[in-house]
Homo-oligomer: A and B are copies of this chain.
Amino acid sequence: MTSEKMKILVVNDDGIFAPGIKHLAKLAAKFGEVVVVAPDSPRSGQSHAVTLIQPLRLHEAGEEDGIRYFSCSGTPADCVKLAIKVVYEGRLPDYVFSGINHGSNASSNAVYSGTVAGMMEAALAGVPAVAFSLTDHSWKADFAPFLPYAEKIMAACVKSGRKDICWNVNCPDVPVLKGIKVCRQAKAYWDEDAVERVDPARRKYYWLMGDFVNKDDGKDHDLHYLAEGYVTLTPFHFDWTDYAAMKEWQESGAF
């Protein structure tokens, strides 16, 4: 590191008005100069969507405690792209921290999460990045127990000096935490029901209502440790190749 302050970008998917992002921005300010670029409204469930056929807006929303806040009309992945190109004028920030998400991004939740996608987009660009989530959807969620652990994780990330950091961190909604467990993603999925309604013009419409199904009885995964009261840290990567299946099908003679 040079004597220049480290540049830290903070994003999320709950939007610039979510309490979680302020907690994360203030924590990140202990490590460097923080800029927040966040969606102008909630974008939960937007995954790694990017805005291609619409233009994007970016507004400087204000400054608080030395942290500059920008609101963006796009998705979390758009926020990371615009922050790098417009706010940082094409230079990469030193770190990207995403969250703190209101709600779990453990297990297959990560697939749908804009907060995780913000972290993944940064990692794709070669910037060390961490996504932070608390397993409480409420706008009044209590982030206090999580903060010292989130700080410890930021410190480990910075101290390592490594560029290949791509961590999905989750924290259970409990007053006393037991520690941090580095572990794998559980294999679970959302089994959505489509609840039917009828509008005043008598046309049907549907609401997706999710039911989270965990069929992974392992004791070494994020859902297990969250239930036990630990903060979980899962290193991710963006190579989705299933190498075991690849080898098997290469040797199968099927193609």
* CB–CB B236/A242 < 8 A: yes
**Stretch in A20-28, A41-49, A61-69 with 4+ CB within 8 Å of B:** A41-49
Q: Closest CB of chain B to A244's CB: distance in Å?
A: 8
Given contacts A56-B208, A235-B246, A237-B245, contact A112 B50 (CB under 8 A): yes
Other 19 A-B pairs with CB < 8 A, given A124-B190, A237-B245:
A42-B53, A44-B52, A48-B112, A50-B112, A57-B206, A78-B208, A81-B208, A82-B194, A82-B208, A85-B193, A85-B194, A111-B124, A160-B254, A164-B245, A184-B246, A187-B239, A235-B245, A235-B249, A237-B242
Among B124, B160, B185, contact of A240 (Cβ-Cβ < 8 Å): B185
Q: Which single residue of chain B is at the shortest CB-CB distance from A208?
A: B81
Among B48, B78, B184, B187, contact of A243 (Cβ-Cβ < 8 Å): B184
* CB–CB B208/A250 < 8 A: no
For residue A233, CB closer than 8 A to chain B, the reply is yes
Q: Closest CB of chain B to A7's CB: distance in Å?
A: 18
Among B180, B196, B203, B240, contact of A255 (Cβ-Cβ < 8 Å): B180
* CB–CB A56/B206 < 8 A: yes
* CB–CB A240/B241 < 8 A: no
For residue A214, CB closer than 8 A to chain B, the reply is no
* CB–CB B241/A55 < 8 A: no
For residue A189, CB closer than 8 A to chain B, the reply is yes
Give the complex CA separation of A50 and B44 in angstroms: 9
* CB–CB B46/A49 < 8 A: yes
* CB–CB A49/B51 < 8 A: no
Residues in chain B near residue A150, CB distance under 8 A:
none
* CB–CB A120/B124 < 8 A: no
Residues in chain B near residue A47, CB distance under 8 A:
46-50, 77, 117
Give the complex CA separation of A44 and B197 in angstroms: 28
Among B108, B125, B206, B207, contact of A58 (Cβ-Cβ < 8 Å): B206
Q: Closest CB of chain B to A238's CB: distance in Å?
A: 6
Residues in chain B near residue A235, CB distance under 8 A:
241-242, 245-246, 249
Residues in chain B near residue A179, CB distance under 8 A:
255
Contact pattern, A 140-170, Cβ under 8 Å of B = 1, otherwise 0:
0000000000001100100110001010100
* Residue among A112, A185, A206 with most chain B CB within 10 A: A206
Residues in chain B near residue A52, CB distance under 8 A:
44-45, 208
